A and B are shown apart, each in its own frame.
Chain A
């Protein structure tokens, strides 16, 4: 295979992992509540800015990370309380609009608090490329991959190995029956939004050193995460990784061969195609209509 092609595929795939991570955040909340945060991109961005501020205040990198993650959790909980809960109680789709609104507010606040310019995000991890099987790759990029896989592994372990994690799945399988077991659906949904916020914050921290931090840093990212989530289906964690890797490399190839302005296109086309062919996603389950 052509060297440049390989290079493009690999570095695109690494970006794809970040899409997968954000998409995974959608899955977490979709599982418990059939809702997702449309302002997830803004959550990624605001968390990144917050983490940058922590660094500016002199906190070392590895202490900043838990701070940034904690901020993500709190922000996620806030989204659930202010934007989602009421709509879910009313069984309406109002949460779509509400989370868009909260995202817009976050965006505007970030613009005014941290400024509209892109800023570099300092990191102790080197960005000097090393050669691996003839492909140049930076330790920074490797750290992204490691971070994505680690957090997904931890959350999947939590879901499978702890009773609370199983309760999480019980709520997504049958909310009413879970309540009868003493599992509070409201609290489970809160927890899922907290986790989703944590995942978003981590995505922000991982990607910022590569892309720089700015109010629009995540607006393209989140669109692709949406595509990944819909194409893979909103149920399978494994699916988002596969689709994320695929989309990331496809995109990087598109921008190399067609033009960098078109790099957003494959994700969007893929999404609409996936809806046409298999609306529940490649790895999604079918739905049974009930009366």
Chain B
């Protein structure tokens, strides 16, 4: 579904990605872990087009997408629930979800009817969003905003979902809830690329994992192998 090959990108003079390569197969959950500043979020931003790569290839479902505008890449079937959630604060929960399906819905009228089924599905996954559908999304709690961000990404019927740090800033109880949902998404056959701070949690749900260090993939493998890898453990507690 997604092939990233020898990706280079950065901000101004400083290069953050120095030849990142990874592959996400259809229907799998792949995770990208590593220390802060390693370039995980930058990788995600570059894949979804927010940052232009200086070198390398990104192929989404057979189509090269590197250098395209983010909106264009979204039309090609990529949904990105970004770091920090980035819900549209002044808009209601339901409007946020509707906008998630912007690529598929009619832009003037009749979009509500067409989206009704999908909205129901998302509400079923996140009952709390249904309770707050009319509320301005900026007033939701952090956990609810995260769920909204995931729900919004799902509304697009994407080929691939990028989840960037879904547990960021959330209390442990909520993190468990978020991961339960990620597990359900995976079971329903959605292809996911997950960036996560909490390596252990990420490895528990992932089919395959990449460990990033200073802009490159340092180690990769199935979670069971990585959990035994001393380097991986060291990267997190330094002991």
Contact = CB atoms under 8 A, between A and B. Distances in A.
Asked if A and B form a direct contact in the complex, defined as CB atoms under 8 angstroms apart, the reply is yes
A186 B70 CA distance: 11
Given A162-B109, A163-B106, 16 more contacts: A163-B107, A166-B95, A170-B99, A173-B89, A174-B86, A174-B87, A177-B82, A177-B87, A179-B49, A180-B50, A180-B74, A180-B80, A180-B86, A181-B74, A181-B99, A181-B100
A53 interface: no
Contact of B99 (A166, A176, A184): A166
B11 interface: no
Contacts, number: 82
Interface residues of B, number: 32
Contacts of B98: 163, 166
A92 to B, nearest CB: 16
B71 A163 contact: no
Interface in B96-131: 98-100, 102-103, 105-109, 111
Interface of B: 48-50, 69-72, 74-75, 79-80, 82, 86-91, 95, 98-100, 102-103, 105-109, 111, 152, 156
Contacts of A163: 98-99, 102, 105-108, 111
Which 8 interchain pairs have the tightest Cβ spacing? A182-B74, A179-B70, A177-B86, A182-B103, A184-B71, A173-B88, A164-B107, A163-B111
Contact of A167 (B70, B82, B102, B109): B102
A162 B51 CA distance: 30
B102 A180 contact: no
10 contacts: A166-B98, A167-B107, A170-B99, A174-B87, A177-B87, A178-B88, A180-B50, A180-B80, A181-B156, A184-B71
A54 interface: no
A185 interface: yes
Contacts of A169: 88, 90-91
A166 B115 CA distance: 15
Which of B89, B91, B102, B109 gathers the greatest number of chain A CB atoms within 10 Å? B102
A183 interface: yes
Contacts of B109: 161-162
Nearest to A180: B80
Contacts of A164: 107-108
Contacts of A178: 88, 99
Task: Classify the secondary structure of A's interface with B.
Answer: helix
Interface string A139-170: 00000000000000000000001111011011
Contacts of B82: 176-177, 180
Interface centre among A174, A182, A185 (most CB of B within 10 A): A182
Interface of A: 161-164, 166-167, 169-170, 173-174, 176-186
B3 to A, nearest CB: 20
Given A163-B98, A176-B50, A177-B88, A182 B107 contact: no
B50 A179 contact: yes
A18 to B, nearest CB: 28
A217 B120 CA distance: 55
Contacts of A186: 69
A166 to B, nearest CB: 5
Contacts of B106: 163
B239 to A, nearest CB: 32
Contacts of B50: 176, 179-180
A180 B86 CA distance: 10
Name the residue in A161, A164, A173, A186 with the highest tally of chain B Cβ atoms < 10 Å from its Cβ: A173
A179 B71 contact: yes
A177 B84 CA distance: 10
Which of A177, A181, A185 has the most B CB atoms < 10 Å from its CB?
A181
A183 B69 CA distance: 10
A102 B9 CA distance: 37
Nearest to B80: A180
Contact of A181 (B102, B107, B111): B102
B102 A185 contact: no
A250 B49 CA distance: 51
B100 to A, nearest CB: 6
Given A163-B108, A169-B91, A183 B102 contact: yes
B69 to A, nearest CB: 7
A183 B108 CA distance: 14
Given A173-B89, A180-B82, A167 B99 contact: yes
A182 B153 CA distance: 11
Contacts of B74: 179-182
A5 B140 CA distance: 49
B2 to A, nearest CB: 16
